[in-house]
């Protein structure tokens, strides 16, 4: 999975899932270790006037418009995730989880990968901050810079899209091999790719127009327009599932079905991007092509993004290798659901808690951490990181154990419909189990990397990403070579989790050095130890209850519902009870549990 998916800033206290308490609230948590100074902070320092956080009222006195925008974005995120889940379920039902689905899914993953490699990483890490700075520093309010930037991005994307469509066979060959046995699947993937690669341009259009809006503090549109894409795809897969009687084998799919799937899929991304045009016009932006890039500062900005681009390249390399190996498992067992499609479906479910919980916290914490670094307040920086890790852990840790305990039941509930029967959904559920506990280091490492970004350090995140990618590639290759096809991709999911565990350890060591050798380690280990103990016991009990309910007679397609409902409810209640017994004070961050 690629890091760097754009997220629009919003105030965390307006996010329904959890709240970010005031830093001083940590000092009021009874019996949970030292204060913000954390590990080894024996000097007992407390923030002094003029050195701590800005006085309440300056940052807190935002007008009602900001609060309304934050709430709008939070709701947009939730609706987007919900409709995205419906889309994934219908897609699995329409195309299945075997080789046929993999040809579509691989072709559909390529445009975002190429966009990110071409300009996406630079756009989010360097060019957008330059855009914001230009609006405040340039005499014209940054309008000329905006026009140059939009012209540059769209020009690069247009040229890249044309070249990518022309080179579709060569690009697809990187992800799946063209052998006599696999030739039909390879050719179908190429056909899909030629239709889907124009998404590159529309992805770029969406993100650059969205960032123009963000620079004007207009955040809502970028959060809501992805819902339009989900609605288009939900309609498409619903029609395909209900009317077109989709085939189970790649040899049986018709040209009309291929055209329908590919054209509408690209159309959904086009709608998502084009829908922002009225909003940018309403915000005052008027696009006029400007090619006078020389001397405008864009070249320097792009050069500054080299470490971010290398990070993206490392992530893409790992993703490409895993995609290639997972596709090989599909070739050996074309209808088993043991390859790339099962892997991508499982990963889409697994990443949801992190994308909703941790990303919300990071959005709120990064500006505070950046200010703390600029003002040389490392104690406050350390406290913010500890805050984010402990609060996110309250939901991330039990979610990870939930996937470990009830992965197969979850996959059967979501995917065992239409072209997918209960047996074909089991491999995706086992991959979800293998990913499971990796959610903890994945989420923590994502948050800690923002500590380096607060120091304006993009080099160190590249080296950690390179380490993670190397471990992931090595372990994935071992799974591909030594495990049977039925279990190889499940092993690759576990390898992904292990790679991020190693990456987290490396990130902790490197960030401790930047923070004078202290990272509130004792407190974090104590909190996560209690969370893991509570979640592990809850998961064991929940799994036993789910097993006891698995024999309940219920219509096909919903057989997993009693087991999942009973096991999930048991796990939730047990976790909350044990967390209270163990006095995990961060439990107060959950609504209704203060």
Same domain? For 460 and 513 the reply is yes
**Listed residue (325, 349, 298) closest to 146, CA to CA:** 298
Asked if residue 386 belongs to a domain, the reply is yes
Range of the domain at 141: 77-302
Over the stretch 186-216, which tens digit does the pLDDT of each residue have? 999 999 999 999 999 999 999 889 888 877 7
Render pLDDT for 496-505 as a digit per residue (tens, 0 to 9). Answer: 999 999 999 9
Domain boundary among 461, 487, 520: 520
The pLDDT of residue 45 is above 60:
no
- Point out the least confidently predicted range of 126-135, 245-254, 303-312, 357-366: 126-135
Helices 378-415 and 439-454, packing angle to 10 deg: 140
pTM: 0.83
Tally the domains of the chain: 2
Looking at the structure, tell me whether residues 432 and 368 fall in a common domain. Answer: yes
Instruction: For residues 150 and 208, state if they share a domain.
Output: yes
Considering the domain architecture, whether residues 198 and 275 belong to the same structural domain is answered as: yes
Instruction: Give yes or no: residues 117 and 251 share one domain.
Output: yes
DSSP states of 200-226: HHHHHHHHHHHHHHHHTT--HHHHHHH
Asked whether residue 319 falls in the same domain as residue 403, the answer is: yes
* Residue 273, domain member (yes or no): yes
Same-domain status, 134 and 265 = yes
Q: At residue 52, does pLDDT exceed 70?
A: no
- Sequence-ordered list of residues with C-beta below 8 angstroms from that of 130, at least 6 positions apart, any chain: 145, 149, 297, 298, 301
Residue 150 maps to a domain: yes
Q: Decide if 403 contacts 538 (C-beta within 8 A).
A: no
486 pLDDT more than 60:
yes
Task: Go through 261-298 and write b for each residue having 16 or more CB atoms within 10 A of its CB, e for each that does not.
Answer: bbebbbbbbbbbbebbeebbeebebeeeebeeeeebeb
| Shared-domain flag, residues 270 and 297 | yes
In this structure, the answer to whether residues 283 and 355 fall within a common structural domain is: no
The pLDDT value recorded for residue 50 is 38
- 145-167 mean pLDDT: 90
Are residues 276 and 344 located together in one domain of the fold? Answer: no
Mean pLDDT of 479-486: 96
Q: How many residues does the chain have?
A: 594
Q: Is the pLDDT of residue 236 over 90?
A: yes
Domain termination site, one of 520, 544, 566: 520
Report if residue 326 sits inside a domain.
yes
CA 216 to chain centre: 25
Domain final residue pick, 520, 541, 567: 520
- Domain-located, residue 70: no
Q: Please check whether residue 586 lies inside any domain of the structure.
A: no
Verify that 433 and 478 share a domain, yes or no.
Answer: yes
Choose between 516 and 325: higher pLDDT. 325
Say if residue 208 is in the same domain as residue 293.
yes
167, part of any domain: yes
Task: Select the more confidently predicted residue: 384 or 306.
Answer: 384
23 located within any domain:
no
């Amino acid at each position: 999975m690629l890091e760097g998916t754009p997220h629009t800033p919003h105030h965390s206290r307006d996010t329904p899932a959890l709240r970010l308490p005031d830093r001083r609230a940590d000092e009021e948590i009874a019996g949970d270790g030292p204060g913000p100074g954390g590990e080894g902070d024996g000097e007992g320092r407390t923030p002094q006037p003029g050195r701590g956080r800005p006085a309440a009222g300056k940052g807190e006195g935002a007008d009602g418009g900001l609060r309304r925008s934050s709430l709008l974005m939070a709701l947009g995120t939730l609706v987007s995730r919900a409709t995205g889940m419906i889309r994934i379920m219908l897609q699995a039902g329409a195309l299945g989880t075997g080789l046929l689905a993999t040809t579509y899914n691989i072709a559909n993953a390529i445009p975002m990968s190429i966009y990110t490699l071409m300009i996406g990483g630079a756009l989010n890490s360097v060019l957008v901050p330059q855009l914001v700075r230009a609006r405040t520093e340039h005499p014209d309010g940054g309008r000329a810079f905006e026009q140059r930037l939009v012209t540059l991005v769209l020009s690069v994307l247009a040229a890249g899209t044309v070249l990518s469509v022309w080179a579709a066979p060569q690009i697809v060959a990187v992800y799946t091999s063209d052998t006599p046995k696999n030739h039909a699947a390879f050719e179908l993937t190429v056909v899909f790719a030629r239709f889907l690669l124009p998404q590159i341009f529309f992805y770029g259009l969406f993100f650059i127009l969205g960032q123009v809006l963000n620079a004007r503090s207009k955040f809502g549109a970028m959060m809501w327009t992805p819902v339009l894409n989900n609605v288009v795809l939900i309609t498409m897969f619903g029609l395909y599932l209900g009317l077109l009687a989709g085939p189970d084998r790649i040899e049986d799919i018709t040209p009309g079905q291929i055209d329908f799937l590919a054209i509408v899929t690209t159309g959904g991304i086009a709608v998502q991007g084009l829908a922002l045009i009225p909003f940018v016009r309403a915000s005052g932006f008027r696009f006029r092509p400007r090619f006078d890039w020389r001397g405008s500062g864009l070249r320097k900005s792009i050069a500054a993004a080299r470490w971010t681009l290398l990070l993206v390249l490392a992530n893409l390399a790992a993703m490409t290798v895993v995609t290639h190996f997972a596709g090989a498992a599909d070739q050996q067992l074309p209808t088993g659901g043991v390859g790339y499609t099962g892997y991508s479906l499982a990963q889409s479910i697994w990443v949801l808690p992190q994308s909703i919980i941790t990303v919300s916290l990071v959005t709120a914490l990064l500006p505070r951490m950046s200010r703390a670094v600029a003002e040389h307040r490392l104690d406050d920086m350390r406290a913010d990181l500890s805050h984010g890790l402990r609060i996110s852990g309250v939901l991330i840790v039990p979610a990870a154990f939930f996937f470990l305990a009830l992965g197969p039941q979850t996959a059967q509930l979501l995917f065992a419909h239409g072209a997918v029967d209960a047996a074909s959904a089991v491999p995706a559920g086992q991959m979800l189990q293998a990913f499971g506990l990796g959610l903890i280091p994945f989420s923590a490492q994502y948050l800690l990397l923002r500590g380096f970004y607060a120091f304006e350090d993009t080099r160190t995140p590249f080296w950690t990403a390179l380490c993670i990618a190397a471990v992931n590639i090595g372990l994935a290759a071992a799974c591909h070579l030594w495990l049977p096809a039925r279990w190889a991709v499940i092993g690759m999911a576990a390898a992904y989790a292990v790679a991020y565990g190693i990456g987290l350890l490396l990130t902790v060591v490197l960030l401790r050095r930047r923070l004078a050798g202290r990272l509130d380690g004792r407190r974090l280990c104590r909190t996560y130890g209690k969370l893991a103990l509570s979640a592990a016991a809850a998961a064991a009990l929940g799994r036993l209850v789910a097993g006891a309910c698995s024999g309940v007679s219920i219509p096909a397609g919903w057989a997993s519902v009693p087991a999942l409902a009973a096991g999930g409810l048991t796990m939730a209640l047990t976790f909350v009870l044990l967390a209270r017994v163990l006095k995990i004070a961060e439990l107060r961050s959950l609504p209704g549990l203060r």
